[in-house]
Amino acid sequence: MDRDIKISIRNLYKIFGPIPDVALAYVRRGMGKAELLEKHNHVLGLQDINVDMREGEITVIMGLSGSGKSTLIRHLNRLIEPTAGEIEVDGKNVLNFDEDGLRKLRREQMSMVFQKFALLPHKTVLENAGMALLVRGHTVRDFEDEAKKWLARVGLEGNENQYPHQLSGGMQQRVGIARALASNSPVMLMDEAFSALDPLIRSDMQDLLLELQEELKKTVVFITHDLDEALKLADHLVILKDGHIVQQGEPQEILMQPNDPYITDFISDINRARVLRVRSVMEKTTEPPADCAGDISDRDNLESVIARSEGDTDLVYRVVKKGNQVGILEMKELVKALVPVDASEGDNRSRY
């Protein structure tokens, strides 16, 4: 296994029903989800899933309701047992773990942030934040400083002695994130973690996650049905439909090169200028342009560059990253990038 890969999923299938092994044979011969349900009364949850999740990155699993995204994340810590396949964490197949190994995986290696917060109403904010440590046998006195540290990091300093019902939804979810961080687990599983929040609070929570991730470099698996959220958070994006992967890769690559009509439809209504980054449309070169209109960052979105250029399509910018030139961007090429690529013209450039 690549030393940078934290979690590796190989040939994973999940079929719900009384005789899943028999149903699996039909699926492997090409039977789809609808036909399997109609003819054999079994539900195809996941079909031949293959994903590598790199250490220190955010992998976003997205899809519409029924696509299998929540089923997939629950396989990682074996809350759901697969019908077939392998799941490796640090090179070890978790399907071979006994009860002690599985308990250690859930307590020490993976933390989970839920959509419905999952806070204990009779415990204080401090006690909820330290719950993972409490389960490991620590006392409140043992973990008080650690819990307070993470509560402060998520903006809840001074709320330690309150109870969940005294907090807003956004504040409760901050407690959930503090709890996951206090556990000191290298992997964070986040299942629709921000979906129950109002749009403005949701955006704040996304910013908070990115801010923390910049420093902590956790391996985050994030489930969402929201494309804007996925594009904002993902280092690696996996798009599911009916239990199988339609396309996966770097989000900007998927936007520029959709490989399926389903993906094309999915991204058709997004504001491309707002989500596409300079790095995706620039020409990679260290040679400065002859007539430079100024420097822009490779992380800038195209909307900000359009505003800066005031619509002048004759301009050329030098693209820099950490002070060094990595490319140039011609405004004419930027304008071309705003036109969606038809799926028939794309190809899957997944790095995995």
Domains, the chain, with CATH or none: 55-84+97-249 (3.40.50.300), 272-337 (3.90.1280.20)
State mean pLDDT over 219-236: 93
State mean pLDDT over 65-88: 95
What integer pLDDT is reported at residue 295 of this predicted model? 96
Spatial neighbors of 154 by CB under 8 A, at least 6 apart, are: 174, 175, 177, 178, 181, 208, 212
Q: For a pLDDT cut of 70, what percent of the chain falls above it?
A: 96
What integer pLDDT is reported at residue 275 of this predicted model? 87
Rounded CA-CA distance 45/84 in Å is: 12
DSSP state string for 78-102: TSS--SEEEEEETTEEGGG--HHHH
State mean pLDDT over 233-240: 95
What integer pLDDT is reported at residue 193 of this predicted model? 87
Kindly provide the residue ranges of all beta strands, DSSP E only, lying in the chain, ordered along the sequence: 5-16, 43-54, 58-62, 84-89, 92-93, 110-114, 187-191, 219-224, 236-241, 244-249, 283-284, 295-297, 316-321, 324-330
Pair 30, 39: CB distance under 8 Å: no
Tell me the per-residue pLDDT of 10-59, one tens digit each, with 9 for 90 and over: 999 999 999 999 999 999 999 999 999 999 999 999 999 999 999 999 99
Q: Side-chain half-sphere of 269: how many Cα atoms within 13 Å?
A: 6
What integer pLDDT is reported at residue 347 of this predicted model? 45
Pair 136, 104: CB distance under 8 Å: no
Residue showing tokens 């420093």: 215
Q: Side-chain half-sphere of 8: how many Cα atoms within 13 Å?
A: 13
What integer pLDDT is reported at residue 349 of this predicted model? 39
The model's pTM is: 0.85
Beta bridge partners of 16: 43
Which range is least confidently modeled, 42-46, 132-136, 206-210, 327-331?
Answer: 132-136
- pLDDT(256) > 50: yes
What integer pLDDT is reported at residue 126 of this predicted model? 93
Q: Side-chain half-sphere of 156: how many Cα atoms within 13 Å?
A: 33
What integer pLDDT is reported at residue 34 of this predicted model? 93
